[in-house]
Structure 1
Amino acid sequence: MWIRTETQDDHAAIRALLGEAFADSDGKGRIEQRIVDALREDGELSLCLVADIDGRIAGVAVFSPVAIDGAQSWYGLGPVAVAPRDQGHGVGTALIRAGLAELADQGAAGCVVLGEPQYYARFGFNNDGELRYADAPPQYFQSLAFNDAGAKGDVRYHRSFSTH
């Protein structure tokens, strides 16, 4: 497995992967596809890593800037998707670890995620109650500070995250 930054040639495969990975969700993957497309179109897709297995895109992790009053250089993780046949083999873990390391190396202040608390805790994410996202249950909205442990307030994602 090779973790690398997406190329333009990967866009169709990423769209297909999002549809496949989220096929059982309410939007059948269309919501995640629209989010990624809109982030790209608006120049807000900061980092998009893919897991390449023998030339096949097996997973994707997307990072985009978020707004927090009084804080700069924070990012949101998501969507993250792994092809069903590759789930449970460490693909998602490898993508997330690589993305977080790259953000930290680039000087990012931190990263937030809306997701399963137990899964994301393994990467260092937690909910300290200082950052909030809309009406998300607090335990599912977590943060990981790289160098800005004092960020507080409401987090705002790109507009595509609220357009379904």
Structure 2
Amino acid sequence: MEIRDERHGDEDAIHALTAEAFQPMPYSGGTEPAIIRALRASGALTLSLVAVEDGAIVGHVAFSPVSIDGVQDGWFGLGPISVRADRRRQGIGRALIAEGLRRLAEDGARGCVLIGDPAVYRGSGFASGRFRYAGLDPRLVQHVVLRGEAPSGEITFAPAFDVAAED
């Protein structure tokens, strides 16, 4: 398996993978593929990595800037992240996250946040307790510090996260 930057021409495969990955999820509103397209179109898709196996994209992760209490200061949001159904639970998502965090740290990022199940993301170094998001259970609002100390406050994701589901 190779992890590489998204390339021109990968967009439709990423879109299809993301739609397939989130379709069965009860917490999904179906907006994830549109979010990635909107992040890309707005220039807010800071880092977009794909996992490729035998020429096919089997995983994808997106990172985009976030603000904390209205301030953008080197923190990024992780997501959406998708892995092809027949390749889940084989370490692809964790490998995508690790490579993304490595690259963000290399570029001087201070940290990364995500909304998700602590049992899933704890193994990638994420912890709960410093951030809030839209009234969600604070245990779902997780972070990893890459440099310095973690601030605390309310997270705001890129405007692309406000897109409506595609038909």
TM class by smaller structure: over 0.9
- 1:119 maps to what in 2? 120
> How has the CA–CA distance of structure 1 residues 136 and 10 changed in structure 2, closer, same or farther, with 3 Å as cutoff?
same
- For residues 157 and 71 of structure 1, the distance between their equivalents in structure 2, rounded to whole angstroms, comes to 10
- In the TM superposition, residue 78 of structure 1 has moved relative to its aligned partner by 0.4
Q: Which fold has the larger relative contact order, with Cα–Cα distance below 8 Å and residues 6 or more apart in sequence?
A: 2
- 2:64 maps to what in 1? 64
Deviations 1:67-109 (A, max 9, x none): 1135601000000000001111111111011101110111000
Pair 1:140 & 2:140 matched: yes
Please give the secondary structure, in 2, of the residue aligned with 1:8.
Answer: coil
Please give the secondary structure, in 1, of the residue aligned with 2:102.
Answer: helix
- In the TM superposition, residue 30 of structure 1 has moved relative to its aligned partner by 3.8
- 2:53 maps to what in 1? 53
- In the TM superposition, residue 28 of structure 1 has moved relative to its aligned partner by 7.2
- 1:20 maps to what in 2? 20
- For residues 28 and 12 of structure 2, the distance between their equivalents in structure 1, rounded to whole angstroms, comes to 16
With the length of structure 2 as denominator, give the TM-score of the two structures. Answer: 0.91
Q: Which deviates more, 68-77 or 88-97?
A: 68-77
- 2:3 maps to what in 1? 3
Please give the secondary structure, in 2, of the residue aligned with 1:39.
Answer: helix
Aligned length: 163
- Quote the sequence identity (%): 40
TM superposition outliers: structure 1 runs of 4+ over 4 Å = 26-29
Please say if residues 109 and 145 of structure 1, whose CA atoms lie closer than 8 Å, have aligned partners that are also in contact: yes
- For residues 96 and 49 of structure 2, the distance between their equivalents in structure 1, rounded to whole angstroms, comes to 7
Q: Which runs of 5+ in 1 are unaligned?
A: none
Q: Which deviates more, 116-125 or 23-32?
A: 23-32
With the length of structure 1 as denominator, give the TM-score of the two structures. Answer: 0.93
- For residues 148 and 161 of structure 1, the distance between their equivalents in structure 2, rounded to whole angstroms, comes to 27
Q: Which runs of 5+ in 2 are unaligned?
A: none
